[in-house]
C-alpha cells in the first residue's frame, strides 16, 4: 500500500481511475430520465401519464382503451410525437406525491384546481369549468340550498376537492357531518344515494349530469361553490412541459378536437327525461332479456356492438314486437314492407326475422357509406336507417355544394336539417326531409347506448381495469 502511494506512476493511475469513475457517475446522473424535462420526454419517445381507472378517466371496453382523460392524454402524446404510457394510481391521494417524486410526467384525472393543490404541484390552464353539486335521492325535497346541509351527513371520497369545500363550509358555520370514504369512486357514492343507502354525496357537475342517466332516482339539488376548473398537474419544476400542455389545450380547443373528445363521453348530458329513462331502465330488466340472445347473435354476425343494436331497437319500438308506425314500419326494428321483402323476411312481426333483417339493413348502409370513418360513418348509417338512404344522398350533395365534408356527421347534421326548407329541398332528388328527426333519433340512441355500456362495465379491483 505504501509503495502504491509513493510511486508517482501509481498515484497517476489512481487519480486517473478516480476521475473516470467520477465522470461516469456525473454522466450517469445527467443521463437519468427526468420527468420534468420536456427534452428528456421527447428524446425517450414516451410520456408517462398518471390517471385513475374509472368511468371518467380511463377504462377498457370491448378490449379498447377508453376514457375522457385517456383520449386527451393520447392526443397530447400525439401532439408531442411520443408514445403514451399510463400509470394507474392505486389511490386518489397518491397521485400528487407520485408527481412530486418523479413517478410520472403529469396527472390527467379530472382533478380540480384548488389553492391547496397549487401549493404542491403546478396546474395547466383550466380545460373544463365545473361546479360541485349536492346529490340526493329524488324523494328528498328538503335540500334546496347549501344552508340545508346543516345537521346532515355528507359522504365523499377522502382527499378530494369535495372534502376541502365541505370543511370550508364547516368553518363558515354550517354544522354538517363529513363521512370520508377511502378511495371509493364518486359514481359508487351516487349509486348508494340512488339506493337510499346514504342520504347525500357531492359530485362535479359533469359527473353528476352523466350519472343522472344511469341512476334516474337521483336529483342534482344545488351547487355548493362557485365555478371551478379541471386541470392537468405537473411537477412545479416542469415549466417547459407545462407550457407545452397549455399550447396543446389552446390548439385542440380552437380546432374542435377538444369538443369532439368531450362529446364522445358527455354529449347531451343536459338532456334528461326522468319518466323516459325510468321506463327504459325498467324495460332493460323486463323486456331486454327476452330478445337479448337474438340481438347478440345478429350483432355478432354483422360486427356491431349488441348494446348499440339494443339501444336502436328501444328507440324504434321500446322492445314491442308488435309496434307499428303511421309511416308503415313494423316490429322491433321498424322495418318497412319493402325493406323486409328485399331481405327475405316472411313474417315482419317475428323477432326471429325482424331483428336479423334490421341489423342486416343497418350493415348494408354501413358498407355503403364506406368513405366515412368511425362515429361519422355510424351516425350517417343510422340517419339513413331513420330517414332513408335517398335523403342522405341529398344531404351529402348539399354538403358538397356548401364546401363541407360529406363524410363528416357534423356536415350532414347541418344539411339534413336544412332539407326541411323548400329553399334547399326544391332542387334535391328526394325532396322534403324531416331531418331534425334523424338528429334526435341518433341523440336518443346514443343516450340509451351509453347507459347499456355503463351497465356492461364491471369494475374489478383485483385486475385494476374495467371488464366488458
Q: State the pLDDT at residue 91.
A: 87
As a whole number of angstroms, the distance between CA 44 and CA 25 comes to 20
Contact by Cβ (8 Å): 383, 412? yes
Which CATH superfamily does the domain covering 132-226 fall into?
Answer: Periplasmic binding protein-like II (3.40.190.10)
Q: State the pLDDT at residue 450.
A: 93
Q: Cell for 141?
A: 325535497
As a whole number of angstroms, the distance between CA 392 and CA 259 comes to 25
pLDDT higher for 92 or 121? 121
As a whole number of angstroms, the distance between CA 159 and CA 153 comes to 17
Q: State the pLDDT at residue 30.
A: 43
Percentage of residues of the chain with pLDDT beyond 90: 76
Single out the residue of 209, 214, 175, 135 nearest to residue 455, CA to CA: 214
As a whole number of angstroms, the distance between CA 221 and CA 193 comes to 13
Q: State the pLDDT at residue 272.
A: 82
pLDDT at residue 466 greater than cutoff 50: no
Q: State the pLDDT at residue 459.
A: 36
- Tell me the backbone φ, ψ of residue 273, rounded to 5 degrees: -120, 100
Provide the pairing of β-strand 128-130 with 228-234: antiparallel
pLDDT at residue 215 greater than cutoff 90: yes
Q: Please give the CATH number for the structural domain made up of 38-128+231-266.
A: 3.40.190.10
The residue behind cell 347534421 is 413
- Tell me the backbone φ, ψ of residue 412, rounded to 5 degrees: -65, -35
pLDDT at residue 321 greater than cutoff 80: yes
pLDDT tier at 18, thresholds 50, 70, 90: low
Locate the domains of the chain by residue range.
2-31, 38-128+231-266, 132-226, 276-456
Strand, coil or helix: what is 203? strand
The residue behind cell 397521485 is 95
pLDDT at residue 192 greater than cutoff 80: yes
Residue 316 is among the residues annotated as catalytic for this protein: yes
pLDDT digits (tens, 9 = 90+) for 126-154: 999 999 999 999 999 999 999 999 999 99
Single out the residue of 90, 66, 197 nearest to residue 135, CA to CA: 197
Neighbours of 125 (CB within 10 A): 15
- Residue 229, beta-bridge partner list: 129
As a whole number of angstroms, the distance between CA 425 and CA 39 comes to 56
Q: State the pLDDT at residue 14.
A: 57
Mean pLDDT of 105-109: 96
Q: Cell for 289?
A: 332479456
Q: What is the pTM of this model?
A: 0.76
Question: DSSP assignment, residue 461?
Answer: T
pLDDT tier at 19, thresholds 50, 70, 90: low
Alpha helices in 101-146 (DSSP H): 115-118
Neighbours of 153 (CB within 10 A): 12
Q: What distances in angstroms separate CA 120 from CA 12, 24, 37, 159, 294, one per listed residue? A: 49, 33, 18, 14, 55
Mean pLDDT of 289-305: 97
Q: State the pLDDT at residue 7.
A: 62
pLDDT higher for 225 or 3? 225
pLDDT digits (tens, 9 = 90+) for 248-278: 999 999 999 999 999 888 888 888 888 899 9
pLDDT at residue 325 greater than cutoff 90: no
The sign one gets for the Cα dihedral 329, 331, 337, 342 is positive
276-456: CATH architecture: Orthogonal Bundle (1.10)
Q: Kindly give, in sequence order, each residue whose CB lies less than 8 Å from that of residue 191, ignoring residues fewer than 6 positions away.
A: 215
Q: What is the mean pLDDT of the chain?
A: 89
Mean pLDDT of 359-373: 96
Q: State the pLDDT at residue 15.
A: 60
As a whole number of angstroms, the distance between CA 97 and CA 100 comes to 5
The residue behind cell 361546479 is 131
Q: State the pLDDT at residue 444.
A: 95
The sign one gets for the Cα dihedral 233, 236, 240, 241 is negative
Same fold, 38-128+231-266 and 132-226: yes
pLDDT tier at 107, thresholds 50, 70, 90: very high
Mean pLDDT of 110-114: 95
The residue behind cell 370513418 is 373
pLDDT digits (tens, 9 = 90+) for 150-183: 999 999 999 899 999 999 999 999 999 999 998 7
pLDDT tier at 465, thresholds 50, 70, 90: very low
Mean pLDDT of 85-95: 91
User: Active site residue: 316, 337, 353, 458, which one?
Assistant: 316
Amino acid at each position: 500500500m505504501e509503495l502504491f502511494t509513493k510511486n508517482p506512476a501509481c498515484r497517476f493511475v489512481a487519480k486517473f481511475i478516480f476521475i473516470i469513475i467520477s465522470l461516469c457517475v456525473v454522466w450517469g446522473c445527467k443521463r437519468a430520465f427526468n420527468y420534468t424535462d420536456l427534452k428528456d420526454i421527447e428524446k425517450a419517445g414516451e410520456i408517462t401519464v398518471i390517471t385513475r381507472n374509472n368511468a371518467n378517466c380511463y377504462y377498457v371496453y370491448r378490449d379498447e382503451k377508453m376514457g375522457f382523460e385517456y383520449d386527451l392524454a393520447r392526443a397530447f402524446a400525439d401532439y408531442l410525437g411520443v408514445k403514451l404510457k399510463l400509470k394507474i394510481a392505486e389511490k386518489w391521494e397518491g397521485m400528487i406525491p407520485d408527481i412530486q417524486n418523479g413517478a410520472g410526467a403529469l396527472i390527467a384525472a379530472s382533478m380540480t384546481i384548488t389553492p391547496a393543490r397549487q401549493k404542491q404541484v403546478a396546474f395547466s390552464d383550466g380545460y373544463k369549468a365545473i361546479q360541485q353539486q349536492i346529490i340526493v335521492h329524488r324523494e328528498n325535497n328538503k335540500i334546496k340550498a347549501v344552508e340545508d346541509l346543516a345537521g346532515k351527513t355528507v359522504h365523499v371520497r377522502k382527499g378530494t376537492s369535495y372534502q376541502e369545500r365541505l370543511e370550508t363550509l364547516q368553518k363558515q358555520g354550517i354544522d354538517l357531518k363529513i363521512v370520508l370514504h377511502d378511495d371509493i369512486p364518486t359514481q359508487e357514492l351516487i349509486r348508494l344515494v340512488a339506493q337510499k343507502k346514504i342520504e347525500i354525496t357531492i359530485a362535479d357537475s359533469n359527473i353528476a349530469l352523466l350519472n343522472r342517466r344511469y341512476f334516474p332516482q337521483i336529483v342534482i339539488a344545488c351547487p355548493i361553490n362557485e365555478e371551478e376548473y379541471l386541470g392537468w398537474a405537473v411537477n412545479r419544476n416542469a415549466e417547459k412541459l407545462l407550457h407545452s400542455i397549455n399550447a396543446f389545450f389552446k390548439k385542440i380547443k380552437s380546432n374542435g378536437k377538444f369538443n369532439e373528445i368531450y362529446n364522445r363521453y358527455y354529449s347531451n348530458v343536459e338532456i334528461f327525461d326522468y319518466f323516459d329513462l325510468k321506463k327504459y331502465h325498467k324495460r332493460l330488466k323486463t323486456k331486454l332479456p327476452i330478445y337479448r340472445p337474438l340481438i347478440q347473435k345478429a350483432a355478432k354476425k354483422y360486427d356491431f356492438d349488441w348494446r348499440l343494436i339494443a339501444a336502436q331497437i328501444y328507440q324504434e319500438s321500446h322492445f314491442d314486437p308488435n309496434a307499428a308506425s303511421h309511416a308503415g314500419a313494423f316490429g322491433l326494428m321498424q322495418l318497412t314492407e319493402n325493406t323486409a321483402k328485399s331481405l327475405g323476411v316472411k313474417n315482419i312481426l317475428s323477432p326471429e326475422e325482424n331483428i336479423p333483417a334490421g341489423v342486416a339493413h343497418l350493415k348494408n348502409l354501413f358498407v355503403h357509406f364506406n368513405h366515412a370513418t368511425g362515429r361519422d360513418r355510424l351516425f350517417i348509417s343510422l340517419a339513413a336507417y331513420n330517414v332513408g338512404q335517398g335523403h342522405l344522398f341529398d344531404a351529402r350533395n348539399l354538403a358538397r355544394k356548401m364546401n363541407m365534408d360529406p363524410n363528416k356527421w357534423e356536415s350532414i347534421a347541418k344539411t339534413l336539417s336544412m332539407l326541411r326548407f323548400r329553399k334547399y329541398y326544391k332542387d334535391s332528388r328526394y325532396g322534403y326531409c324531416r331531418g331534425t328527426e334523424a338528429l334526435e333519433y341518433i341523440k336518443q340512441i346514443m343516450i340509451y347506448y351509453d347507459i347499456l355500456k355503463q351497465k356492461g362495465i364491471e369494475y374489478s379491483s383485483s385486475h385494476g381495469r374495467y371488464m366488458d
